[in-house]
Amino acid sequence: MNIKFTKMHGAGNDFVVIDAINQTVNLSAEQIRHIADRHMGVGCDQLLLVERPTRDDADFRYRIFNADGSEVEQCGNGARCFVRFVHDHSLTQQHEIRVETASGIIVPKLENDGRVTVNMGAPRFEPVDIPFVATERALTYTLDVAGKDLTICALSMGNPHAVLLVDDVDTAPVTTSGALIEIHPRFPNRVNAGFMQIVDRSHIRLRVFERGAGETLACGTGACAAVVAGISLGLLDQQVEVSTHGGTLTISWGGGNTPVWLTGPTVNVFEAEISL
């Protein structure tokens, strides 16, 4: 089976994007892991499938698979690359697109300056929605990680996030504690672990150990979750610049049940075919 794909990235979070409308694509988890492998395959953090919608209120459906082959509910940087992809491949002329994802409809918009802004929907805090094991909803939780009590915020952007405050992301235990938090038993579906350094009320630095992919250069939903956590803790204003190792994302949230807005860059790296 030969599959055409486009390699893209959004602030260094990289994707293999596949048009599954104009080509028949049936990939096993093992084949996805092979494609994502940075030595034996193409290499990516996530693989995105662009499909026809299954609901009348959507223009497209996009499915998201982590490098470990797991299918997930949401991907913020992927949503931006998705919009660039469907425009570049003439799959639509619309600038505002309703996209069906496993966690509901998101509405990305291609701006005139080429950047993409995505309405990522409202954050969810109820433990059952994250999902997270807790007796009740709280602003922060104590998580026992390898015998140390860590304070986290827990929320869902459609996918689960744990957010920790650190003094300096450069020295934060992202790869050690992040890996343990990802598989912590209180997160039955695993979790993305974000390490946030507050620079000032409109600027944070962020590193994310992503569920199913390890540390990435940027995480769109992770940036949304970190800013929502920071605003909820009274530490951030409504619009925040998020500095990641891969670039800068802009997040805004009005609080409560209002949507989180994500804006950032997208880059086409190359087009190719892979034989499976």
Ligand X SMILES: N[C@H](CCC[C@H](N)C(=O)O)C(=O)O
Report residue 111 as tokens.
Answer: 């701006």
Residue 77 counted as an annotated binding residue: yes
Q: Choose the binding region for ligand X from 71-79, 142-150, 234-242, 268-276 (rule: CB under 6 A).
A: 71-79
Q: Which is nearer to ligand X, 23 or 175 (CB)?
A: 175
Q: Which is nearer to ligand X, 36 or 172 (CB)?
A: 36
Query: Rule CB under 6 A: which of 40-59 touch ligand X?
Result: 45-46
Binding-site string for ligand X from residue 155 to residue 174, where x marks contact by CB under 6 A and - marks none? ----x---------------
Query: Rule CB under 6 A: which of 189-218 touch ligand X?
Result: 192, 210-213
Q: How many CB atoms lie within 10 A of CB 248?
A: 15
Question: How many whole angstroms separate alpha carbon 72 and alpha carbon 52?
Answer: 18
Q: Which is nearer to ligand X, 58 or 72 (CB)?
A: 72
- The least CB distance from residue 234 to ligand X, in Å, is 25
Residue 221 counted as an annotated binding residue: yes
Q: Which is nearer to ligand X, 66 or 177 (CB)?
A: 66
Question: How many whole angstroms separate alpha carbon 24 and alpha carbon 273?
Answer: 14
Q: Is 2 exposed, middle or buried (0-12, 13-18, 19+ CB in 10 A)?
A: exposed
Residue 46 counted as an annotated binding residue: yes
78 binding ligand X? (CB under 6 A): yes
Residue 257 counted as an annotated binding residue: no
Number of residues that bind ligand X (CB under 6 A): 19
Provide the Cα torsion 275, 81, 101, 95; round to 10°.
-130
Q: Annotated catalytic residue: which of 44, 81, 153, 219?
A: 219
Residue 135 counted as an annotated binding residue: no
The question of whether 81 is a catalytic residue gets the answer no
Nearest to 63 by CA among 117, 21, 13: 21
Question: How many whole angstroms separate alpha carbon 220 and alpha carbon 22?
Answer: 28
- The least CB distance from residue 94 to ligand X, in Å, is 22
Q: How many CB atoms lie within 10 A of CB 37?
A: 13
- Sequence-ordered list of residues with C-beta below 8 angstroms from that of 29, at least 6 positions apart, any chain: 65, 69, 70
Question: How many whole angstroms separate alpha carbon 237 and alpha carbon 205?
Answer: 15
The question of whether 44 is a catalytic residue gets the answer no
- The least CB distance from residue 2 to ligand X, in Å, is 26
- Sequence-ordered list of residues with C-beta below 8 angstroms from that of 77, at least 6 positions apart, any chain: 9, 10, 11, 13, 15, 218, 219, 220, 249, 264
Q: Annotated catalytic residue: which of 75, 81, 153, 224?
A: 75
Residue 211 counted as an annotated binding residue: yes
Q: Which is nearer to ligand X, 22 or 125 (CB)?
A: 125
| Residues tagged in the binding site annotation | 13, 46, 66, 76-77, 159, 192, 210-211, 220-221
Residues labelled as active-site residues: 75, 219
Binding site for ligand X (CB under 6 A): 13, 45-46, 64, 66, 72, 75-78, 159, 192, 210-213, 219-221
